[in-house]
Amino acid sequence: MTTTSSPLATFDAWVRQPRSARTFIFCLSLYLAVAANWALWIDLARIGGAPSVYLRTIGAMALLMIAGTTALLSFTAWSRFMKPLWFAVVVLAAVVQHYMLAYHIVMDPSMMANATQTDPHEVRDLLSWRMAFNVLLVVALPAFWIWRMRIKRMPLWSQGWRNLALAAVALAIGLGGAFVMNRDLAPLMRNEVHLRYMINPLAPLYSAMRVAVKPLFQRSGKLIPITAGAKLGASYAAQAKPPLFVVVVGETARADHFALNGYARNTNPELAKRDVYSFHNVYSCGTNTLASVPCMFSSLGKTAFEARKDEHENLLDVLQASGLAVFWIENQSGCKDVCNRVPNASAVTSLSAADKAALCDGDECLDDALLKGLDERLAALPPERRSKGVVLVMHQMGSHGPAYYKRSTADVKQFLPECRTNALAECGHTELVNGYDNSILYTDRFLGRTIDWLKTQSKDYDTAMLYQSDHGESLGEFGLFLHGLPYSIAPEVQKHIPLVAWFGDGMVKRQKLSSACLKDELDKPYTHDNLFHTALGVMDVLSPTYKPALDMFAACRAPAT
């Protein structure tokens, strides 16, 4: 009597057949090339033009990818104890593919470093049922295979030389293919640099390795002091009131979505009422928070900051060393080590239960939380420092994506309907921009309220505010979303940022500022490199690190008498 097996049982029996680890590695590499690289294949088809061109390129890239992945994973081709590692590689490839398809990002070392700095509430905004489905679609089949398959046992020495042979053959095939296709691939990879970071899972594994290894070789751990010689300038000798300067570090705001810079929508109704100066031609140091925030507070400038071998003290250290009170209030994923040596606090920690219920979703709060209890924070600063002057830094949640709709309250939302999901590609462009613009409206109101608070302090302080974003954002232009592309290939919208300044009457007199002169400066080019020197100029702090040529307001101050 014969029995017929079900198709599932037949498939399971085939999966359960003993195989060498090298056979599995090759099959896994082939599977990942097909199932986890759709973002790359789609981009190559878009760039390549006619099918006769891009299909050849896709074939060449697939060969290189399979060879490279096989060569790399051959070093794990040992025994069944490698199964968790193989599964982790599949999950990594599936997750990376989801974000490349959903947001058109690439997993370069900078993006990987930024991902490691992401806090839990930011992670929550990135999770969705669509993500779970997309990851499961890639992971399900190899997970079942990894779980059920049997790996042939082999003596250690025999296994070792066979693994080396597999790696050598794979590398030879990859190098041979690269040589044969060099005429087609070399110009493509040179002109379309982002493609290098779309090869999955090689690119994320390479980037993760770079992030893990880079600190061991590039940074000594030594902190270079720059505070020597920092002291208060002549304006403090006869001051009637100390200065109070608020620096607002914005998040993910685009210059071209500020009405003050010519945007057609009225996204700045509050700032427009308050005699601010909006600088139109300002560019960020990086395209993500981890790169930009430390860079903007550095004295080194973008080029030297990125090439540094040691860490350096920053603007806050110099201000504090001069004798001023310095305080950092955080409503984001951390100050990226900028505030390590000055007093700092999270915006959520001092909120009342009512304010927390109104402003927060867990530990993620709207930016009005930064203004709660501000009088008490100011009064709690050391009196001897406060009597000289105060610098408050407020780090916004701003327009952090992809959940733009969470960055504004119902009473602010003027642009409807707005995208109500973090799967941005599912939304129409208009709905996506509506949600983003509502977040800019909320930032506008927040900055207006910050200025209003400063006005209430004008009886005791000479007040001023400077706002600038850490980087911009892509909203579907060229098929790109979010931010974090390598700076050299990032579109302008990820680098062109808003910068807004406001001066109270007391600070105008103290600084002897010319309003007409400031208005003439609004179209001049500036970058994050200017913040260090501009802040020292506003606070009249003398330091060997100060460069008047980089002080945005130096030319508009009357000479000291």
Strands 481-482 and 474-475: antiparallel
Helix or strand holding residue 364 (H, E)? strand 364-365
Return the pLDDT at 121: 67
Return the pLDDT at 51: 72
Helix (H, G, I), strand (E, B) or coil at 7: helix
Return the pLDDT at 1: 46
Return the pLDDT at 530: 98
| Pair 410, 560: CB distance under 8 Å | no
* Angle subtended at Cα 228 by Cα 223 and Cα 234, rounded to the nearest 5 degrees: 140
Cis before 201 (ω within 30) = yes
Beta partners for 360?
365
Cα 256 to Cα 93, 279, 487, 494, 509: the distances in Å are 35, 11, 18, 11, 32
Which pair of structure tokens corresponds to residue 447? 């900055």
**H helix runs in 219-361, sequence order:** 289-296, 302-307, 315-321, 353-359
Cα 499 to Cα 73, 267, 278, 288, 313: the distances in Å are 48, 14, 6, 17, 24
DSSP state of 347: T
DSSP letter string over 470-497? S---EESGGG-EES---TTT--GGGTEE
| Pair 351, 372: CB distance under 8 Å | yes
Nearest to 397 by CA among 250, 184, 178, 218: 250
Nearest to 331 by CA among 350, 357, 353, 358: 350
pLDDT string in tens for the chain (561-residue length): 455 568 877 877 777 788 888 888 899 999 999 999 999 988 888 876 667 667 888 888 889 999 999 998 899 888 778 889 999 999 999 999 998 888 878 888 777 777 776 666 667 777 788 889 999 999 999 998 888 888 888 787 888 888 899 899 999 998 888 777 766 675 577 567 778 888 899 888 888 888 777 666 555 568 999 999 999 999 999 899 999 999 999 999 999 999 999 999 999 999 999 999 999 999 999 999 989 999 999 999 999 999 998 899 999 999 999 999 999 999 988 899 999 999 999 999 889 999 999 999 877 899 999 999 999 999 999 999 999 999 999 999 999 988 899 999 999 999 999 998 776 767 889 999 999 999 999 999 999 999 999 999 999 999 999 999 999 999 988 877 888 888 988 899 999 999 999 999 999 999 999 999 999 999 999 999 999 999 999 999 999 999 999 999 999 998 754
Separation CA 101–CA 19 (nearest Å): 34
Burial class (CB in 10 A: 0-12, 13-18, 19+), 537: buried
| Pair 513, 296: CB distance under 8 Å | no
Helix or strand holding residue 158 (H, E)? helix 156-180
Separation CA 136–CA 288 (nearest Å): 29
| Pair 474, 493: CB distance under 8 Å | yes
255-269 as b/e: b if 16+ CB within 10 A: bebbbbbebeeebbe
Long-range Cβ pairs for the range 421-430 (8 Å, 24+)? 421/128, 422/125, 422/126, 422/127, 422/128, 423/102, 423/128, 423/130, 423/131, 424/102, 424/103, 424/476, 424/481, 424/482, 425/101, 425/102, 425/103, 425/481, 426/130, 429/475, 429/476
Burial class (CB in 10 A: 0-12, 13-18, 19+), 50: exposed
Return the pLDDT at 190: 58
Return the pLDDT at 111: 77
| Pair 429, 152: CB distance under 8 Å | no
Q: Which residues contact 117 (CB under 8 A, 6 or more apart)?
A: 289, 290, 333, 334, 336
Which pair of structure tokens corresponds to residue 176? 């041979």
**H helix runs in 265-390, sequence order:** 289-296, 302-307, 315-321, 353-359, 374-379, 383-386
Return the pLDDT at 187: 57
Helix (H, G, I), strand (E, B) or coil at 369: helix
Nearest to 374 by CA among 397, 347, 407: 347
Angle 182-191/51-73 helices, nearest 10 degrees?
A: 90
Burial class (CB in 10 A: 0-12, 13-18, 19+), 10: exposed
Helix (H, G, I), strand (E, B) or coil at 362: coil
What domains lie within the chain, and their CATH numbers? Answer: 7-218 (no CATH), 242-555 (3.40.720.10)
Which pair of structure tokens corresponds to residue 201? 């899972």
Return the pLDDT at 217: 58
